[in-house]
Amino acid sequence: MHRETVERPEGTYDWLYFAARSGEEGRAWSDHYRRYDDIEVTSIKALAQLRAGELDTGAATLERMWEEVAAVDATPSVRHVLERWYYGVLGFLHYRRDEFAAAETAMIAAHEAVSAAVERRRFLLLLANQCHEFTLHRARISRNQRRWREMESHLDLARGMMADRLPLCQLAEGTPVYFSTLADYYLALPLSDDERAWLQGLLDRESRLRQFDRFVEAIYVQPGFAIPYP
């Protein structure tokens, strides 16, 4: 199954689309990544199984995905992106099993995989948008352990990211990546009006903060733990 066959609602885009739109290097990388779409699809399948409460089935699917990732003959940046999907779902598996320390470790690994991918290929910057999600998931993990101060610390960190006061991630060379970094990079590309409008909606500070406030309200009343996919 290839990404070209995955239906995307009209007028919406994702990180891979904008990687390809960044220029010739990004298009070549995207074509290379699409060779491994089936692995990303496996992660989505595992996530669906876990959400349905099929923990053993989902764990088996996730184990098969890791075997596929280990066998990939791809550039390091492609492997880092595939690892991001793996660790994200692995964190959910551990969360559903109440293995909270392992769940947090997986969230950190997913964050580090994104940072490593962006470090190698700057046209993957839009992936950094997902880093605040890992922090919010860690807030949920802390909530379920009733570690209220720790939960508040994660929420404060996520709010700083959403407000563009704190970086989404920091690259190995020490360069911080903010939402404004994403805006500077992508809005400088020769984009269509629709592409620009979609990005501006994603990168609008006030919209992000409204989204964050809704999450904070929900975290106190909803036990669910979802990992969004583009």
For 125, the domain range is 3-219
One digit per residue, pLDDT tens: the chain, 230 residues?
333 344 455 557 899 999 999 999 999 999 999 999 899 999 999 999 999 999 999 999 999 999 999 998 889 999 999 999 999 999 999 999 999 999 999 999 999 999 999 999 999 999 999 999 999 999 999 999 999 999 999 999 999 999 999 999 999 888 999 999 999 999 999 999 999 999 988 889 999 999 899 888 888 765 544 444 43
Residue 229 lies in a domain: no
The number of folded domains in the chain is: 1
In the structure encoding, which two tokens stand for residue 175, read together? 């360069």
Residue 226 lies in a domain: no
CA distance 125 to 117: 9
Residue 102 lies in a domain: yes
For the entire predicted model, the pTM comes to 0.88
Query: Side-chain half-sphere of 107: how many Cα atoms within 13 Å?
Result: 26
Residue 139 lies in a domain: yes
Residue 225 lies in a domain: no
Residue 71 lies in a domain: yes
Domain CATH number, residue 115: 1.25.40
> Taking the mean position of all CA atoms in its chain, how far away is CA 5?
21
CA distance 50 to 40: 16
Residue 200 lies in a domain: yes
Tens digits of per-residue pLDDT, 34-91?
999 899 999 999 999 999 999 999 999 999 999 999 998 889 999 999 999 999 999 9
Number of Cβ within 10 Å of residue 76's Cβ equals 12
